[in-house]
Structure 1
């Protein structure tokens, strides 16, 4: 309890990394300590580690399915985290496309010349060249 209380103090004075550290120690000692997960999730959210905050809130719901604070936080965080993942995926694909075009450009080709089709049964992709 002392560690979790220290985490709350750190949250109050905007020392979020310390709050994460103290909450994590409390969780190590008691992996079912809901309040420590809640505090750590709050700290993660303050430092913009939304995926970690979401994971902690989901753990709270796993331990206490009736926890309204965690349920509300999960509903709020899930779409934001999903949007961030999608944005990161698009950025990564854009960078890969640029890299591919820089290599293929030497041969007069582009990644746009290639078409990929996903096989719904196996999940594998078939890639074909279209000049």
Structure 2
């Protein structure tokens, strides 16, 4: 329905609430975009405006928390992969320290 009419309020609202209910980083970001689009489309006198504003305020911190959780999970999985490969040589990812060099990059130091 949104392909035929991108300003179809009912379908846009349903998609936003569905993405909101999923709770993943990407779905919450999509819900936030849909809620912002709804605020642009809806007339100021619409009873749905207050619900959309409340949902938009609620979704932003949830999106950030989901983003942080997914990023932490990804880093943990990458560390696990690195440890499984380095374990063959008696090393671990904890042996390598990353320090910012002040120019936007990092220097890698080996520590036992």
| 1:33 positional shift | 3.8
Identify unmatched segments of 5+ residues in structure 1: 1-24
Looking at structure 2, the residues matched to 129 and 98 of structure 1 have their Cα atoms a distance apart, in angstroms, of: 18
With the length of structure 1 as denominator, give the TM-score of the two structures. 0.64
Distance 1:38 1:112, change over 3 A: same
Aligned residue-pair number: 105
Identify unmatched segments of 5+ residues in structure 2: none
Q: What is the CA RMSD across the aligned residues, in angstroms?
A: 2.6
1:39 counterpart residue number = 14
Looking at structure 1, the residues matched to 22 and 52 of structure 2 have their Cα atoms a distance apart, in angstroms, of: 18
2:20–2:59 CA contact under 8 A, matched in 1 = no
1:10 counterpart residue number = none
Looking at structure 2, the residues matched to 41 and 51 of structure 1 have their Cα atoms a distance apart, in angstroms, of: 10
1:86 counterpart residue number = 68
In terms of fraction of residues, the more helix-rich structure is 1
RCO higher in structure (CA 8 A, sep ≥6): 2
- Runs of 4+ deviating beyond 4 Å: 62-66
2:32–2:59 CA contact under 8 A, matched in 1 = yes
With the length of structure 2 as denominator, give the TM-score of the two structures. 0.72
